[in-house]
Amino acid sequence: MKVCPSCNARYPDTLRFCSQDGVPLECVVLADPFIGAVAGGTYCLTERLGSGGFGSVYRAQHLRTPLAAAVKVLDAGRAADPDMVGRFQQEVAALAVLQHPNIVRILDHGFQADLGYYMAMELLAGSDVGKALDAGRRFTILEVAAIADQTLLALELAHGRGVIHRDVKVENIFLSEDPSRPEGFCVKLLDFGLARLSEPMVAQTGATVGRGNYRSTASRVFGSVATMAPEALTGRAVDARADLYGLGVVLYELLAGEMPYVAMTIDDLLKVMTTTQPVRPTQLAGGVWLPVEMEEFLMTAIARPPELRWSTAAAMRQGFESALPAAEKAWARFFLAPEVVAQLAVPIEPPLPPLHRTLARERPAVLVVDDDKVLRGLVSGLVRAAGCDCEAMADGLEAVQWLRDHPPPDAIVADLLMPGLDGLSMVTAARRAGYNGAVILCTSVATDRLRAGAAQLQRAWTLDKATELYRVPELLRRAGVAPPPT
């Protein structure tokens, strides 16, 4: 393998100069024999990202474009196992026909003597849900809603094309960084190595090895036990409802903080999952906040008999959407309101001198703009509690039009990152139109451009949506907008 001494870019031995800066390349010897290999004559493996039961995943650089990819390589030992080769080819066949924004995209695949079986996929930045939970992250109700919605869209496509994933779990739900989305991520469903393909799909893709029938038996169970449907654990045939069960367990853990079944050993877990009913989430400390609508949704999703579960991904998605409004309100009351009340008791800085008001009003007017309806409602409540009238909107473009047609408000509280017109662009447009009032920008995910632009605004503050919303009344008082507390 060769390396550029200037930029440290890595290249195969056949190249002489760095394609980025033209510097002559130097030969290096690396411990990993696959580093420097070129998959399919296109992707040069530059770094090992991780390994698992199938082999290893490498970061790879496209030799003719700036594109980077992830290349999965089946290790030599498993390449001698027909079952492992079949699973690998099965995943290739599944991904080849499942082109969807919420399913990891395959770019190339094949076999070559110096590498073995490989597949190149899009390179993702972010973390899977499992690692996020291990790091102590507690997901908001809207983040859980995004995970549920996007994963179900992926499963709806897969099931419609005759593919059953059979290993839906937190480790296979990847949150790819996407600052353009309100939740800050795009779900990518990973690892179709255990997928079962329908007979028409087998015929269409040519995945003849194993014919997609790696079925669990009493002595051999594929997949993660905790999220496997009871029928899969006992060796019975599975259908799309097994995937919906797995996602139901994932959503149960995200919303209640624990799994529906707990045991000390794998054998004990297998026994309780196949012979007892799951614990209702409201009986757990982390699930006491759940309203009955969401609890019933979860219990339907993880029902032991398949016929009692949601029948399709579309039906489960509709069921979640029906339960979501009640869950949003309950989540805001349980997780946000107590914190706000507690923080408001903390002494605050004295307010700044009042500013001259351009229009006489009985109460100060504040414009609240946030595409997140739960947080929009929460901020509106804080504004009113501070003694101000509130006009709430969900869209930056709508807010700009409102500002053109109405007298200027005394303050604007806006989400910094919104689809369409972001908060910074909206406030900039308002400033150009003559608005010189106070601005409070709230964000949890934002680009460097947005943060830098917000820092340059006059009479503006930036708050973290997750931890600092309680400061909205304080800042309105400091800006001379809200009256002093009585």
Tokens of 92: 């290739």
Tokens of 102: 């919420």
Residue where the block lists tokens 């393909």 = 197
Distance of CA 243 to the CA centre of its chain: 18
Among residues 128, 167, 243, 372, the one annotated as catalytic is: 167
Tokens of 104: 């990891």
Tokens of 343: 């923080």
Tell me phi and psi for residue 365, to 5 degrees: -110, 135
> In which order are the strands placed within the sheet that holds 2-3?
10-11, 2-3, 26-27
Query: Judging by beta carbons within 10 Å of its beta carbon (0-12, 13-18, 19+), is residue 350 exposed, middle or buried?
Result: exposed
DSSP state of 298: H
Q: Is 167 part of the annotated catalytic residue set?
A: yes
Tokens of 456: 């340059």
Number of H helices, E strands in the chain: 16, 19
Tokens of 303: 């029902």
First to last CA, the chain: 72
d(CA 59, CA 250): 28
d(CA 216, CA 234): 8
Supply the residues annotated as catalytic: 167
